Structure 1
């Protein structure tokens, strides 16, 4: 008997996507949308199927990306690939997906029209894929270099010698994606990269779009937190155009970048946004501008007060204790990718996310109203890392000048053994020579005795 079709499951949507190649775009969009929804909530029934069919799923999505389907299809295919890389516990499997998919996703971003918001969202999927699939520093650095060369480097042009003009949404997404990848492995990436990044982000603080300003401000905060900004005043200078100059420049238009300069610039932009919010009559836009002004003010206080800023005290969000800019930026980026409620559900079961926020899952009993039975509620708490004294056993001997660690007694026994038992020792050689002489003397005496007529 033929089995019923697997509808409303990851397997069913994958079958629909494979069959939809012969049908209209609407069927492909429906299959991709259902697949993304199933991956986002990732029910237990689909985990085993995903482990065994991950490459088939990714190949189908890459086919959509390669053929240049509609913007909606491309975005959902990219989201599906990013979700698979995030969900998988097998790092090698996630890296295989990254290796096959990352170049194609980034090519889709570069070939898309800058007037659409879709490339910005696909770029975020590319960052998620790199974050979870590119587990080596060289992989993450390569993705960061691709983003930088495409959106920020002076030589990025349209093939006719003209510098490309990107939409504010795409520039903000590029900054956020670059920083999201950086936050995953900032210790494994050389500080030399900040010499270009910091002046560029500082220049973006003067951008007309508030989303670009916010992304650049929080990027500078992240770089400052990882102790990269501290080396800039002695090694780099920034001019009014945001270009990277020499520290020996004496031009009046150049000045050394410092925390004070950044805080001053942020405070100016914060006041401008606050004034615009006051003058704006639209309630929604006014609220958005007030939120942006508050975020800029927070970053400004961070640069003024450093890690002692009272506004940056540990906060609990999605059940996770956030204490650093790195964790805050990671949480904000993933909230934009998954949605707040979906991210909270993933943190409860996803080991990579729990390790990412240095968290541990704890179960607590919670009483419901009335006589209803208690249920288990998950709570994620930050696990503080404390330095501990390690036990170091005291050595009963000290190394000699030649680096040996033999004790005096063992060394004497070793010397005695070499002198007496080793075939190459002088004592063994002397003993051999002496025995040889004795044998020669004995042989000579026997020959003389044989020639003696009185020898019996």
Structure 2
């Protein structure tokens, strides 16, 4: 079992902020709605998420729903290290409550936020054991037949996210993909025992494709996915445009994987597959702008990953995670630069010195050790020429240093000069 940090118990001391001052409940509640410090050092935001966390065990459903919505907002914003600490210190209690809510709650919004929160926990934590344990919990719940009124499309989306961030190897990833595949195929033996909303099929295809981006072609099984090419090709003419788009993305990714034979059978008509290659080639040099900084995507796999995570988080949430979430930096090889408002200013060193070394003949020491050696008149003249003379090296160095300081000062004044041409 993975390491568990913290038992999730919270007392009134958790609502102490601003250097020990006690913040009232209403002030702490409103803290989330204020303009937060993007530096990640906002104590109000830290305590707000703990305040919401304390409300999850209340009896009133409306209070729990509001608390869980507040937690979701904070996790989507992902504003600093304190959010990661909250997730890793309290994920056991938080995920346990979310599963209870999914199974027992009668409020649709509360169930949806619970599913969403589980995905965010796996996405935010930097602890591999934590993300893997979340994956195991979600996979077990879905594979055993999750009895809940929550939209199964949201459940599959959550499974895709926790697998993407928490699966330890390709076998675990393919097991999750097989669960999604059972919702794509309606055949005997499938776990799809009842009719689902039309949105489930495109959600299942998109989730399956999203996880396929994490697998190398040589790791894929030869037996599991045969016939996938034919299945997606047939869905290209589906009346639902979202199904067609999801099938098209899947075929484009299969063509990029260079292992089409693992997805096809001898009877498959593979003539439709090359249609996606032209579209695929156009995406080889795709660029995105994230908060003014360029992100280069070199493959269709990365584009699918970016689009799926953006859809899950929303545009603002995706940008925030791209800028501050270390997991996203690793996935997309993205290193956001820190803005420096003083980059155009001239700087003057605090201290600058000039040293001059000179050598002279050694002074003979008196035979009587009780007497200190004295400097001869010849050596005194040498020292005078080296230090006090206007033509000495030290004097010239001092003159150059003064000129340099004047040039720096003139440069600072030029910053505010007006061009009168």
TM-score when normalising by structure 1: 0.60
- What does residue 65 of structure 1 align with? 102
Q: How does 1:222-261 map to 2 (within 5 A)?
A: 222-229=253-260, 235-238=265-268, 256-258=269-271, 261=272
1:313 to 285, 293, 298: 285
1:39 to 75, 78, 102: 75
- Larger relative contact order (C-alpha < 8 A, sep ≥ 6)? 2
- Between Structure 1 and Structure 2, which shows a larger proportion of helix residues? 1
Where structure 1 has 5 or more consecutive residues not aligned to the other structure, the ranges are 239-255, 264-299, 374-456
**Displacement, 1:85?**
0.5
Residue by residue over 1:388-428, the C-alpha shift from the partner in whole angstroms, topping out at 9 and shown as x without a partner, is xxxxxxxxxxxxxxxxxxxxxxxxxxxxxxxxxxxxxxxxx
Q: Quick check: 1:68–1:74 contact (8 Å CA) kept in 2?
A: yes
Q: Distance in 2 between matches of 1:2 and 1:310?
A: 56
Q: Distance in 1 between matches of 2:256 and 2:237?
A: 22
Change in 2 beyond 3 A, CA 1:158/1:185:
closer
Confirm or deny that 1:13 pairs with 2:52.
yes
Q: Distance in 2 between matches of 1:191 and 1:355?
A: 30
Confirm or deny that 1:139 pairs with 2:172.
yes
**Displacement, 1:119?**
2.6
- What does residue 120 of structure 2 align with? 83
**Displacement, 1:32?**
1.0
Q: Quick check: 1:123–1:174 contact (8 Å CA) kept in 2?
A: yes
TM-score when normalising by structure 2: 0.64
Confirm or deny that 1:179 pairs with 2:215.
no
Q: Quick check: 1:198–1:220 contact (8 Å CA) kept in 2?
A: yes
Q: CA RMSD in A?
A: 3.0
Change in 2 beyond 3 A, CA 1:316/1:94:
same
Q: Distance in 2 between matches of 1:167 and 1:49?
A: 35
Q: Quick check: 1:225–1:325 contact (8 Å CA) kept in 2?
A: yes
1:30 to 37, 48, 66: 66
Confirm or deny that 1:212 pairs with 2:256.
no
Residue by residue over 1:70-106, the C-alpha shift from the partner in whole angstroms, topping out at 9 and shown as x without a partner, is 3211110011011011100111111112112333256
Change in 2 beyond 3 A, CA 1:228/1:317:
farther
Confirm or deny that 1:124 pairs with 2:157.
yes
Q: Distance in 2 between matches of 1:38 and 1:231?
A: 42
Change in 2 beyond 3 A, CA 1:321/1:366:
farther
Q: Distance in 2 between matches of 1:325 and 1:102?
A: 27
Q: Distance in 2 between matches of 1:225 and 1:58?
A: 36
Q: Distance in 2 between matches of 1:356 and 1:168?
A: 31
**Displacement, 1:65?**
1.2
Give the greater-gyration-radius structure (CA).
1
1:327 to 302, 309, 323: 302
Q: Quick check: 1:17–1:28 contact (8 Å CA) kept in 2?
A: yes
Residue by residue over 1:52-75, the C-alpha shift from the partner in whole angstroms, topping out at 9 and shown as x without a partner, is 111111111111012143321111
- What does residue 344 of structure 1 align with? 319
1:167 to 190, 194, 197: 197
Q: Distance in 1 between matches of 2:227 and 2:148?
A: 25
Residue by residue over 1:428-452, the C-alpha shift from the partner in whole angstroms, topping out at 9 and shown as x without a partner, is xxxxxxxxxxxxxxxxxxxxxxxxx
Change in 2 beyond 3 A, CA 1:207/1:306:
closer
2:328 to 350, 353, 365: 353
Q: Distance in 2 between matches of 1:194 and 1:36?
A: 36
Q: Distance in 2 between matches of 1:172 and 1:110?
A: 21
Number of aligned positions between the proteins? 302
Confirm or deny that 1:152 pairs with 2:185.
yes
- What does residue 55 of structure 1 align with? 92
Q: Quick check: 1:66–1:104 contact (8 Å CA) kept in 2?
A: no
- SS of the equivalent of 2:227 reads helix
Change in 2 beyond 3 A, CA 1:36/1:364:
closer
Q: Distance in 1 between matches of 2:125 and 2:340?
A: 30
